[in-house]
Chain A
């Protein structure tokens, strides 16, 4: 079964189509990197697929679930890591994770929070408010937040934005650990890094798909040349 199957998906704001007739499918366990210049519609596409925004037309199935018709059912399988950590700065690390775990209705919320704090090496700071955390620590906690309900599909929206090289290293290590059996959909500006991580690559320009394939079938030099051409294509 496809982890994600998107068919003629369109998202319009008034007369402007930010995502225009996008179609693609990725299998379970895939890592899809989505590239494109500013304004290409990458984040809009990600937001629609993550059920944060309703599509104007077209359809998308996440693990066979229609995200438009059964958004809540799809949400149980979705995790999102973004450059916004989605953490309350005045709550402690533990309170933030407990809040999310309880909203997801996890049976042993306290136990799961402990596990996740261990996984992101923040157990020693569990009683500290997020406001006192460095950017890297906040991003690690946001990974724990996104994965606390063990989602099958994880969306990454420019997750490296604002991270220093050391934090990037830690982040990559964490992604490697949690990658098994999960599908990742990542929006990135960093062509080299995004390409290295992916199993599938998709390029958007003006809201439309200009390239999509498995990495094994893509020549990086040609792909980066195509990317350079899309930069001049303007905003969707």
Chain B
């Protein structure tokens, strides 16, 4: 446990000192919101933003996560720090857990700012359902999956040429089932039509199940991936 806390503390100290990931993800998320705004500015008055908002929110989260995940190992690569950690006798899966936790916390921090901004930009002219607050559940479940799978993939791509593209190429297909389930659950919660729980609950269960399988798989595979 002390290995996990030491690794996590190092990541948090570094990020709070440089604010590199948080700033870049935050600014990027804001810019994506502006682009969405421009793209939807000419839609007809009959256009129902509620139907699309779940999808748009997850586009924002996935793209912002990709940017952050690409940077999450930049410090480890610089100066050969990752090799320094690998020289220490510790369980490799603890490195995964600590890095995935720090990525998760940074993604949550960005979401805390961007989700209200998303609401302000797109949902103030309409009336989301009373169940809107329930989007917190797919946001948490989806972000956990993104952080877990993304941490594994960013480790795989750290030494590849064109790692930014490579991460996206591996990441999007792998998180697709999770993304699909989270978009369904989020949209159901925002619209909140009668019987929305019939969509919301199974979608959330699917996302949760996918999280458990993929995060466990990432954890088990991490020793092999990082040693290779």
Do B13 and A100 touch across chains, with their CB atoms under 8 A apart? no
Do A102 and B6 touch across chains, with their CB atoms under 8 A apart? yes
Do B83 and A100 touch across chains, with their CB atoms under 8 A apart? no
Within 154-175 of A, Cβ neighbours of B (below 8 Å) are at none
Query: Known contacts being A102-B2, A103-B3, is A89 close to B87, with CB within 8 Å?
Result: no
Do A95 and B87 touch across chains, with their CB atoms under 8 A apart? no
Q: Which segment, of B56-64, B72-80, B122-130, B209-217, faces chain A?
A: B72-80
CB distance from A82 to the nearest CB of B (A): 6
CB distance from A35 to the nearest CB of B (A): 22
B84 interface contact, C-beta 8 A: yes
A178 interface contact, C-beta 8 A: no
Residues of B within 8 A of A100 (CB): 84, 88
Do A52 and B81 touch across chains, with their CB atoms under 8 A apart? no
Q: A99: which of B10, B78, B80 is its contact (CB, 8 Å)?
A: B10
- What is the number of residues of chain B that contact chain A, defined by CB distance less than 8 Å? 23
Size range of the chain A interface in the assembly? 20 to 34
Residues of A within 8 A of B87 (CB): 50-52, 75, 78, 80, 86
Query: Known contacts being A88-B10, A91-B10, A91-B13, is A103 close to B88, with CB within 8 Å?
Result: yes
Q: A88: which of B75, B86, B89, B227 is its contact (CB, 8 Å)?
A: B75
Do B78 and A89 touch across chains, with their CB atoms under 8 A apart? yes
Do B81 and A87 touch across chains, with their CB atoms under 8 A apart? yes
Do B79 and A76 touch across chains, with their CB atoms under 8 A apart? no
A69 interface contact, C-beta 8 A: no
CA–CA, A138 and B85, complex, Å: 17
CB distance from B75 to the nearest CB of A (A): 6
CB distance from A44 to the nearest CB of B (A): 14
CA–CA, A27 and B16, complex, Å: 47
Do B85 and A95 touch across chains, with their CB atoms under 8 A apart? no
B90 interface contact, C-beta 8 A: yes
A58 interface contact, C-beta 8 A: no
The interface bits of chain A over 35-74 (1 if a CB of B lies within 8 angstroms of the residue's CB, else 0) are 0000000000000001110100000000000000001110
Do A88 and B14 touch across chains, with their CB atoms under 8 A apart? yes
A14 interface contact, C-beta 8 A: no
Query: Known contacts being A89-B78, A90-B75, A91-B10, is A75 close to B88, with CB within 8 Å?
Result: yes
A85 interface contact, C-beta 8 A: yes
A104 interface contact, C-beta 8 A: yes
CB distance from A178 to the nearest CB of B (A): 17
Do B89 and A72 touch across chains, with their CB atoms under 8 A apart? yes
CA–CA, A99 and B3, complex, Å: 10
Within 1-50 of B, Cβ neighbours of A (below 8 Å) are at 2-3, 6-7, 10, 13-14, 17-18
A134 interface contact, C-beta 8 A: no
Query: Known contacts being A91-B14, A103-B3, A103-B6, is A86 close to B88, with CB within 8 Å?
Result: no
Residues of A within 8 A of B80 (CB): 82, 84-86
Query: Known contacts being A100-B88, A104-B88, is A86 close to B79, with CB within 8 Å?
Result: yes
A145 interface contact, C-beta 8 A: yes
Within 68-120 of B, Cβ neighbours of A (below 8 Å) are at 75, 78-81, 83-90
Q: Most A CB atoms within 10 A — which of B78, B79, B87, B90?
A: B87
Do A103 and B85 touch across chains, with their CB atoms under 8 A apart? yes
Query: Known contacts being A90-B17, A99-B10, is A52 close to B83, with CB within 8 Å?
Result: yes
CA–CA, A105 and B2, complex, Å: 9
List 12 contacting pairs A-B, 8 Å CB cutoff, sorted by A: A80-B83, A87-B81, A88-B14, A88-B75, A88-B79, A91-B14, A99-B6, A100-B84, A102-B6, A103-B7, A104-B88, A104-B89
Known A-B contacts: A52-B87, A95-B13. Give 5 more (CB < 8 A): A87-B79, A87-B84, A88-B75, A91-B10, A103-B85
